[in-house]
Amino acid sequence: MTRPGGRSARVRDAVHDAVVELLAIGEINAAIPKIAERAGVNPTSVYRRWGSREQLLLDAAVTRLRATSPIPDTGTLRGDLLGWAEGVERAMCDPRGQILLRALVATLAPDKQPIEYLRARGEDLQATLDRAAARGEDVPTVDDILDFVLAPLYLRVLFRRPVEPGTGGKLVERLLTALRADPAPNAGRGG
């Protein structure tokens, strides 16, 4: 029987917190005994539950990143995308967000399936697009949004080009401009 509540949940949260805190203060290479010590947990518990430092980092990153930057419902596609992009931008300005994204990329095995985080986010975006289309708006594809907005933001973060405030908004405006100029900018590459 699995036992998700109570002490188990406390330990999981404490360890996740410790990972994020250590990453935030630059202790990128902190090993499991150090993480466990900060979490007030026995190292053996961490080894037994996660098995390796990589699995732990991946779990912490996915768990925490999933909780950031929801897509609002403002009544217009522009408003929805601007709100979302602002949230992503804010997360990427935070050192913790940066380091979690980096850890995520580092840990993703090349032969694994697409990361749950991006897949779920893609579904959220699709729902937003469906709402806009139902209102009669011209809508891009999810691929367009990822290409025009998310990819440039991630490139800046991962390769240390600092994200300036307003970047997300400008990228969204550019996407909408391109959409007006060419209603199907990403046609032919699937979605």
List residues near a second copy by CB under 8 A: 26, 28-29, 54, 95, 98-99, 102-103, 105-115, 118, 146-148, 150-152, 154-155, 158-161, 164, 167, 170-171, 174, 177-178, 181-182, 185-186, 188-190
Whether the Cβ atoms of residue 15 and residue 36 lie closer than 8 Å to each other? yes
Q: What is the dihedral of CA 188, 71, 171, 183, to 10 degrees?
A: 40
Q: What is the DSSP letter of 70?
A: P
State how far the Cα of 185 lies from the Cα of 127, in Å rounded to an integer.
20
Please state, in angstroms and rounded to a whole number, the distance separating the CA atoms of residues 94 and 24.
9
Considering CB under 7 A, how many residues would be counted as binding DNA? Answer: 26
**Contact between residue 59 and residue 121 where contact means Cβ atoms under 8 Å apart:** no
Nearer to DNA among residue 22 and residue 91 (C-beta): 22
- Which stretch in 4-12, 58-66, 67-75, 90-98 sits in contact with DNA by CB under 7 A? 4-12
Residues 18-77 close enough to bind DNA by CB under 7 A? 31-34, 40-45, 47-49, 51-53
Q: How far is the CB of 43 from DNA (least distance, A)?
A: 5
Is the Cβ of residue 8 or residue 76 nearer to DNA in the bound state?
8
Instruction: Work out the angle between the directed axes of helices 151-158 and 77-93 (0-180°, nearest 10).
Output: 10
CB of 153 to a second copy, least distance (A): 8
